[in-house]
Copies of this chain bind each other. A is one copy, B any other.
Amino acid sequence: MPGLDGEKMSKSRNNCIFLFESEKEIKRKIMSAFSGGQASIEEHRRLGGNPHVDMAFLYLKSYFLTKKESEDVSERYSSGAMLSGEMKNMLFEKVIERINKLKEAYEKVDELYKNAEMGNVRLYFSIWNLGETVGVFDKHRKTTDPKLSTQLLLSESMKLLVAGSLSILDVSSDIITHSIDLVLKHHIYIADALQIATARKIQTGRFATADKLLSEIAEKEGFKVIKLKG
């Protein structure tokens, strides 16, 4: 996906949207995105816009709209019925909605960590999660520094480990044995099965996840699921 200006996405070009930007800054970025509209409203109504080069439309299509909705919007834009400003506003609203959901999830994780720091809850996770999370950081290396994120993750985890509010479990043969049963039973990925098998091993009744499928399977397996998705 290119950045909002249609060029390669990059931190230095500042052509992407970040989670903790102000609404004002996000609005500014979206409103100055590369547009496929005409120079004036009159011309736009007469000639129509070009959705194929319109960055707001491309983002809407890729991240927010169903196929049917995309086709509708594309048609209305091409015919001139829909203006560039309306397209950008639609994207802005969708982005804010998504960001608010993400922030909610973020706050839930934050709360969980704070509760752990205060010694109210004890967190457990598989050593596998640590590696998987770094994999996600690395995948987004174009927009964030994976080494810095990894250091933060490790130092935060270390803080909790030292305080005794976090335990990290190795992937041992008994956990894999149970994971294998779960893979064959629910047809899920081994990495997902591992989460549930790890929770089973520590004999907790609670299971926190942001993943919809995983949360369903965990419920089927009798866990009380803490949903980290907003």
Contact = CB atoms under 8 A, between A and B. Distances in A.
A176 B127 contact: yes
Contacts of A134: 180, 183-184, 190
From A127, A131, A135, A194, name the one whose CB has the most chain B CB atoms within 10 angstroms: A131
Interface of A: 127-128, 130-132, 134-135, 138, 141, 146-147, 150, 168, 170-173, 176, 179-180, 183-184, 187, 189-191, 193-194
Contacts of A193: 131
Contact of A183 (B135, B183, B184, B189): B135
A140 to B, nearest CB: 11
A171 B135 contact: no
Nearest to A141: B187
Contacts of A147: 184
A150 B181 CA distance: 10
Contact of A180 (B131, B190, B194): B131
Contacts of A184: 134, 138, 146-147, 150
Nearest to A132: B190
A138 B189 CA distance: 9
Contacts of A138: 183-184, 187
17 contacts: A127-B176, A128-B171, A128-B190, A130-B180, A131-B179, A131-B180, A134-B180, A135-B190, A138-B184, A138-B187, A146-B184, A168-B173, A170-B170, A170-B171, A170-B172, A170-B173, A191-B191
Contact of A189 (B128, B135, B179, B187): B135
A1 to B, nearest CB: 18
A131 B187 contact: no
